[in-house]
Structure 1
Amino acid sequence: MIFIKNGTIYTMAGDVIENGSILIKEGKIVEVGKDIIAPLDAEVIDAEGRMVTPGFIDAHCHLGMWEESIGFEGDDGNEMTDPVTPQLRAIDSINPMDISFEEAYQGGVTTAITGPGSANVIGGTFVAIKTYGNRVDDMIIKDPVAMKIAFGENPKRVYNAQSKSPMTRMATAAILRDTLFKAKTYLQKKERAEEPSKMPDYDMKMEALIPVLKKEIPLKAHAHRADDIFTAIRIAKEFDVDITLDHCTEGHLIADQLAKEGKPAIVGPTFGNRSKFELKNKSFDTPRVLFEAGIKFAIITDSPVIPLQHLPLCAGLAHNAGLPEIEALKAITINAAEIVGLQDRIGSIEVGKDADIAIFDGNPLKDIDCKTFATIINGEVVYKR
């Protein structure tokens, strides 16, 4: 057991508890509040008034897919030989022994939604993992958690260089539609088969898309520009599938229309330069405008674009641009958990949830010199300064 006392606890469940305590047992939070008595056999951590938050969550990154300090040998995020690769699984490329994992949890980031890059129209499945461990199989929260798709410049650039389709936005959309239609037909044949001999031949690509068609996981749509965002929504409607709008760089320009669509946005990476044309309207105003329009959103690093430990900095810069502080915290905790469908386990400090907790010397959204005092994942102290 672990007993945290004397903390300023941001539960992200509606309460900020001054001089509060948290009791952790068998990897779960079993009690939160004031005037809790520490069991005699508990390891006691005195927060001494420090800020205590749920472990931070990055709702879109590529942690472990592009390793630090090496090139091609650790570059495992894009299979740039076929624009349609739904059968690829992030878990088969992640190296949890890369230093980026240690830096992430030392920065208070305890969960990463990580997966393939955006070279392909359909890139493969993302996985939700904890950031501490040495074997990815033991770190999984949910696999798969989403199916990556991509619009805009990236697939165009990759396949134009190979003189093959897609070389236009039209072709990207057409390839996605064609694949989803084939998957729908494949699923219908499977469901209507009355005996094994009537089953369609096994197709690994089509099998991977069945959870999307059944709304067990969403499409995770790389879309920066407004027209690409609308194309993503259009296709999701055509096939009646769930979708998240990842990057959503021009979301602030179309917030009123996005609010009517009711799809969540996953915003970032906003820090850094405008490395391509579709980022020309990138702004830290985006989260504030989406919030004011009533759109649920998360803030991300897109690691390795921005190292994962700087996730609270990204939220802090959005706060500096006018987003209320508590909403900035939600964007990297409970909002992120809800958008990826994991709010029953992570994202807030509540009884029954995973004991993923970060303790900070200052406020990680506001204080440039803020340091992590301790990080707890699954009820285990994985870092203590």
Structure 2
Amino acid sequence: MILIRNGNIHTMAGEMIEGGSILIENGKIKEVGKDIVATLDAEIIDAGGKIVLPGLIDAHCHVGLFESSIGFEGDDGNEMTDPVTPQLRAIDGINPMDETLKEAYEAGVTSAATGPGSANVVGGQFALIKTYGSRIDNMIIDESIAMKIAFGENPKRVYHSMKKSPSTRMATASILRETLFKAKAYVEKQDRAEGDQTKMPEFDMKMEAMARVIRKEIPLKAHAHRADDIFTALRIAKEFDVDITLEHCTEGHLIADELAKDGKSVIIGPTFGHKSKFELKNKSFETPKVLHEAGVKFAIMTDAPVIPLDRLALCAAWAVNAGLDEEEALRAITINAAEILGVEDRIGSIEKGKDADIVIFDGHPLRDISAKAAVTIIDGKIVHRG
């Protein structure tokens, strides 16, 4: 049992508790409030008036799949041999001992949605993991949280260089549609069989993976920077009646009103760095502000290793610098991220019954560039003391 006391607790559930306490037992939050009493054997952490937040969440990155300080041997994020690879699972490629995961939890990032890159039209299955651990099986929140798809320059560039399709945006959309048509037919045949194995379709590993999308068990996670690619992603999702989240959404501020009408969630970033390709020419830290004002729910990502995962709070801070409300910026890396990923019942806020993923910061992470995580707790275990 752990008792955190004397903390300025931002619950991210609509409440700020000054001088508050959090009681942790068996990896979960048992109680949140003031004047909480713990058993004599409880470990006491005096927050000393510091800011206490739920563990930060990156809703889109590739951590553990593109390893640090290594080349091809640790490059496992893109299977660039087939534009349709839905059967691939991030958990089979993540190295939990990659140093970037340690850097992340030492900076207060406790959960990350990580998965395949954007080389393929259909890249494979993202996983949601805790950032602390030595065995991926023990770090998983959801081993298949979304199906990665990609529009725009990346799949064009990869397969054009091989003289294969897709080399145009038309081909990318066509390949995705064909895959979804096949998956829909596969599911319909399964449903008609009603469990009769003699009537079931011949096993197809790709279609088994895509069946979860058709059944709305997981959303498409659509890499799309440019406005036209964003609209193509939305058009195809509507055509097949599947769920979708918009990843990167670099030109989202140019089409905010249209995105608000569609009502889909957005995961914005990475906004730091060089405009390395044409579809990034309108990249702006004002995108979160504009989308928020239009009523679009969003999270902020690093796309690590594009931006190191431990810089997640800094990405949110730059959005504040560009006019985003500070509370909304905190939501974008905590509860909004959890809600968009569909795991708000477990992480994203400090509430009774949720996973005890808690960070005590020695300064305000969005105001003070020198602010560090003094204590990081994941699943009720102290994993870092600054």
TM-score range with shorter-chain normalisation?
A: over 0.9
2:151 maps to a residue whose letter is F
Shift of 1:191: 1.3
What is the rounded CA distance, in whole Å, between the counterparts of 2:384 and 2:68 in structure 1? Answer: 21
Provide the residue aligned with 1:161 in structure 2.
161
Provide the residue aligned with 1:232 in structure 2.
233
Provide the residue aligned with 2:34 in structure 1.
34
Equivalence map 1:3-152=2 (5 Å): 3-152=3-152
After superposition, what is the alpha-carbon deviation per residue over 1:286-325, rounded to whole angstroms, capped at 9, x for unaligned?
Answer: 0000000011000000000000000000000001110010
1:221 maps to a residue whose letter is A
1:127 maps to a residue whose letter is A
Shift of 1:282: 0.3
Provide the residue aligned with 1:175 in structure 2.
175
After superposition, what is the alpha-carbon deviation per residue over 1:77-133, rounded to whole angstroms, capped at 9, x for unaligned?
Answer: 000000000000000000000101100000000000000000000000000000000
Provide the residue aligned with 2:328 in structure 1.
327
Where does structure 1 lack aligned partners over 5 or more consecutive residues? none
Question: Secondary structure at the residue paired with 1:319?
Answer: helix
With structure 2 as the length reference, what TM-score do the two structures score? Answer: 0.99
What is the rounded CA distance, in whole Å, between the counterparts of 1:197 and 1:34 in structure 2? Answer: 62
Shift of 1:371: 1.4
Question: Secondary structure at the residue paired with 1:192?
Answer: helix
What is the rounded CA distance, in whole Å, between the counterparts of 1:367 and 1:57 in structure 2? Answer: 19
What is the rounded CA distance, in whole Å, between the counterparts of 1:179 and 1:97 in structure 2? Answer: 35
Shift of 1:39: 2.2
Equivalence map 1:198-277=2 (5 Å): 198-277=199-278
What is the rounded CA distance, in whole Å, between the counterparts of 2:372 and 2:39 in structure 1? Answer: 29
Question: Secondary structure at the residue paired with 1:201?
Answer: coil
What is the rounded CA distance, in whole Å, between the counterparts of 1:357 and 1:47 in structure 2? Answer: 12
What is the rounded CA distance, in whole Å, between the counterparts of 1:50 and 1:12 in structure 2? Answer: 16
1:272 maps to a residue whose letter is G
Report the RMSD for the aligned CA atoms in angstroms. 0.6
What is the rounded CA distance, in whole Å, between the counterparts of 1:371 and 1:58 in structure 2? Answer: 17
What is the rounded CA distance, in whole Å, between the counterparts of 1:16 and 1:271 in structure 2? Answer: 30
1:270 maps to a residue whose letter is T
Where does structure 2 lack aligned partners over 5 or more consecutive residues? none
Provide the residue aligned with 1:292 in structure 2.
293
2:31 maps to a residue whose letter is E
Q: Which runs of 4+ in 1 moved over 6 A?
A: none
Shift of 1:372: 1.1
1:92 maps to a residue whose letter is D
